Each structure stands twice: as C-alpha cells, then as structure tokens.
Amino acid sequence: MADALRLILFDVDGTLIDSAGLISAAMAEAFSAAGRRAPTPIETRTIIGLSLPIAVARLDPDLDPPALDAVTAAYKAAFVRLRATGDEATATPLFPGARAALERGDASGALMGVATGKARRGLEHILDGHDLRGFFVTTQTADDAPSKPHPGMVLNALRATGVDGARAAVVGDTSYDMAMARAGGAAAIGVAWGCHHADALIDAGAQAIIESFEALDDALERLGVGA
C-alpha cells in the first residue's frame, strides 16, 4: 500500500557532497569578473542551497537585472571550468558515509530522492560522476520548483512517489532545507557537517541533528520514517 512506503529526500551540496570550496571559488571569480566585491567563503556558505539567481541577489542586493544576469552567467562558466580541473571525486567528494547510507536505504526498501538548488544539468553531472543515479527514484531541482525554502520540491517528490508526507523526511545541511521540509509536511533532519550551524537548523525546524551518516537510520526511526 502507498501509505506503507517511505521517502528520504537528500539535499546535495553540503549534505551528500563537499562542494563549498568549489562554489565559493566560482562565486568569487564571477563577482570579480563583473567588477563587484567578491564574497568571502563564509558569506557564500550562507547562500548555498538557494537557486542560483536568488543566491547571487542575496550576496549583492544592489545588482540591477543586467548585472545579476552577468554574475549568474559568469558563475556558471567559472564553476564548470574549475570543476573540470579534476575528476568528480576530487572536485566534489562525497562526505564520509554518504554512499553507505544510500546503500542501507536502498537495501531497506526505502524510496530515495534528491531535492537540490542545483539546476538539473549540474545535478546530472554529479549523479553520473559519483555513480549515484541508481539510488534515486525522484530528483527535484531548481528547474522543477521555486527555490528553497518553498516546499515545491518536497510536494513534487511526494506526488511522484505516492508517499504521504508523514512517511517522508528531508536530510539537509541548511535552514532552507529544514524550512522546506516542514512546509512540505515532511520530517526535517539536519546534518552537522554542512554550511549552516546546528542552531540555525533547529531554529528553522530541524527535528533531529545528526553528527554522521551512521546516525541517520536512528533519526529516521525516531521521527517515524524508519523501516
């Protein structure tokens, strides 16, 4: 029965893969190319997870529309160029325990998906580069719904899988993930190794904070999304 199914939605940047350094470098290059002050890595970490145009505007609210478009385009070009300097495992490595957690979820019969601020093209590159495609039955991107924290990605995934929100969870590293999960009726599990501090995750609605992927199964069980 559909109500027996469970769905685990994973954020990508800062949750499954360690991409903050690459994103920060590309963002600094993009702003510099446009003659704007380059954001610091700490500033850039605060916007990771948002859809790109919203992230750029958050970093520099004074950008007019043409400048916003220019920085956004420069970021995409810089990101692709910087990523191409090494293989995927080097440029955006999986966090420790990520693959094992996905394997456990798959073995348990859970449905798994992705909810990411990346564009679909960027997500496809990650899925292929890390051989992750087979784990996910639904992939929601910035091309499919409004930017987090809007619940559109969660709601799309629930519709696509037929899972009730009470049997779904979002695993993410930012306050945007936690707010998205709660607004979409799913459980919210924050990870302690990503871009936002645990206090910010809790303030945004996180119901559990895990220090490693090894703790994910217990957190899912406590929140009623276990096997």
Q: What is the pLDDT of residues 101-119, one digit of tens each?
A: 999 999 999 999 999 999 9
Active site residues: 11, 13
Mean pLDDT of 171-180: 98
12: left (phi over 0), alpha (psi -120 to 50) or beta: alpha
Instruction: Summarize pLDDT for 31-72 with one digit per residue, the tens.
Output: 999 999 999 999 999 999 999 999 999 999 999 999 999 999
Query: What is this structure's pTM?
Result: 0.93
Look over the chain and give the mean of its residue pLDDT values, rounded to a whole number. Answer: 95
The percent of residues in the chain predicted with pLDDT above 70, rounded, is 98
Mean pLDDT of 78-107: 90
Q: Which amino acid is at 157?
A: A
Measure the N-to-C terminal CA separation of the chain; round to a whole number of Å.
14
Q: How big is the chain, counted in residues? A: 227
What is the rounded distance in angstroms from the CA atom of residue 123 to the CA atom of residue 205?
26
Residue 104's Cβ-count burial label (10 Å; 0-12, 13-18, 19+) is: middle
Give pLDDT, residue 227.
78
